[in-house]
Amino acid sequence: MPDSLKQRLAFHFHLRFSNSLNNSQTEDSNDFQGVKLERYVLHTIQDDLVSFNIHLPQEGDYFIEIFASLVEPDPNPFGQSFKLKCVCKYRIICKQLTQRMHPLPTCASGEWGPAKAIRHFNIHPLTHFQAIFETHNLPVIIKFKCPKQLKFHAKLNSNQYSSINNDNNSVSSSATSNTLDKYVKYEYDEHNFIVTFIIQLPNEGQYGIDLYARDPEYQTEKRTMSHCCKYIINYSKSSNLDPTPNNNNNLYHDYSFDRVKSNGQQKLISPRTNSAFHQPEQSHSSRSSSSRETNSLGNTPSIPMPRIGGNSNLLSQFGMAPISHIDPTITLHSTNSIELLFQICKMVDFSFDLIYHHTLSDLSSRTPLTNLNQRLNASDYVTIKPNGGFNVIFALNLPKQGVYTFTIYAATINPRNDVQLNTNGQTELPAVYTYLIRYV
């Protein structure tokens, strides 16, 4: 979307079977075995990128229509209606399924994530900025900053539990509760206008949560509440799960993460990016190439200690921010593993370095300290996990006790879907954040 319209454009979609080619689907062409086809589409908006990730339930021919509308400012956005116009239409021919997916939880129709709350109601998320997030601990706490005093309601859904089918973008205050609604409550800070949803999930699995809001100034208790936004929550008690889906029935995780890896580099891309452009021989950053140079004596040169902390200008430019560990100096006691969570709001290339510097015994020896520095093969000790939307986790497993520096490099992707090259034909990936990690 153009920057001038990305805060005002709303989208919707309609997925159906092609009746002309699927005679068996003459009725209920929007359904598959009693499930609406829209539950096989993950529609999200992230900054200026609108995506529709489609996992068809069976082979066949389909049509998907995309609708859009400009949302005009309204003093009473709750209950506001607007007309959407069809902006494009695609025919999808699916001859073979690579994997079968569970449908998304039965929530209100439309987009996932908090963008709708921002666009329509000026309600801004404080804790969860993407449509999908993983959690290993309970309760789940979701917070929003509101423009004024508002009333809220939440509905929790899961394919594991029977729920009331709700395809509408409003809910009556007297509507029958689902089995799972008792696991959600909210608190409202009337002084700061902050609403906090507290979610206790009964079992592991995938859940969808609908959040509704009402303005008491315009809507009485008897009026329906307007749908504000919805999230997908993937809950597992263990954090040591392989994020790569298998070939069986799968739940929706993250679609913006390309798992192609080469020499410690991975890429966050949008659905519009074709991963075919990844060329391993071109994926080395300039810092990687220079680290392999030798001095005039044929020896590997000493590795200087990098600057600890973040480059605030580049972090802002790339839409990056540390979430789990804001302090760049970390001490690990009796464990060699750590997960560093970053928020990444734009499409970026990134790479990383892991350098082993010294241990306490090294410091007491006569060996010059600079000769003890060792650049490790980072891909042996660092893995990258998607964490919903454009959040990413760098998971480190350090090989031995000592002092390490872990540096993250990043560069934005240009319109040709690659990073800018310098005069030597090398990719420029400047350092954006460096951690000093002491494993004792």
Whether 1 is covered by a domain: the verdict is no
pLDDT value for 71: 86
Whether 316 is covered by a domain: the verdict is yes
Same domain, residue pair 272 and 225: no
Same domain, residue pair 223 and 269: no
Same domain, residue pair 35 and 116: yes
Count of domains observed in the chain = 2
The residue type of 268 is L
Domain around 351: 257-439
Same domain, residue pair 206 and 269: no
Whether 4 is covered by a domain: the verdict is no
User: Three-class SS string for 18-79?
Assistant: CCCCCHHHCCCCCEECCEEHHHHEEEEEECCEEEEEECCCCCEEEEEEEEEEECCCCCCCCC
Whether 245 is covered by a domain: the verdict is no
Whether 170 is covered by a domain: the verdict is yes
Indicate the Cα dihedral angle 163, 164, 165, 171, nearest 10°: -130
- Can you read off the two tokens belonging to residue 55? 């996992």
Three-state DSSP class for 288?
A: helix
Query: Sign of dihedral through CA atoms 87, 414, 114, 132?
Result: positive
Nearest residue to 14 (alpha-carbon basis) of 55, 65, 50:
65
Same domain, residue pair 101 and 195: yes
Query: Sign of dihedral through CA atoms 235, 240, 244, 246?
Result: negative
Same domain, residue pair 300 and 345: yes
- Can you read off the two tokens belonging to residue 41? 């589409």
- Contact between residue 348 and residue 268 where contact means Cβ atoms under 8 Å apart: yes
Three-state DSSP class for 134?
A: strand
Whether 242 is covered by a domain: the verdict is no
In angstroms, the first-to-last Cα distance of the chain is 49
Same domain, residue pair 281 and 226: no
Name residues of the chain where pLDDT drops below 70.
Answer: 20-28, 74-80, 162-177, 219-223, 238-304, 359-372, 386-390, 413-428
d(CA 74, CA 385): 41
Nearest residue to 88 (alpha-carbon basis) of 184, 9, 14:
14
Last residue of a domain, one of 235, 268, 299: 235
Same domain, residue pair 230 and 261: no
DSSP E strands, 283-363: 309-310, 320-322, 329-332, 337-344, 348-358
The pTM of the full predicted model, rounded to 2 decimals, is 0.57
d(CA 105, CA 157): 6
Same domain, residue pair 278 and 180: no
- Contact between residue 121 and residue 72 where contact means Cβ atoms under 8 Å apart: no
pLDDT value for 377: 87
Same domain, residue pair 114 and 17: yes
Whether 100 is covered by a domain: the verdict is yes
Same domain, residue pair 216 and 266: no
Same domain, residue pair 359 and 265: yes
> With b meaning 16 or more CB within 10 Å and e meaning fewer, what string describes 12-23?
bbbbbbeeeeee
d(CA 39, CA 54): 9
| DSSP single-letter state for residue 105 | P
Indicate the Cα dihedral angle 95, 101, 104, 106, nearest 10°: 90
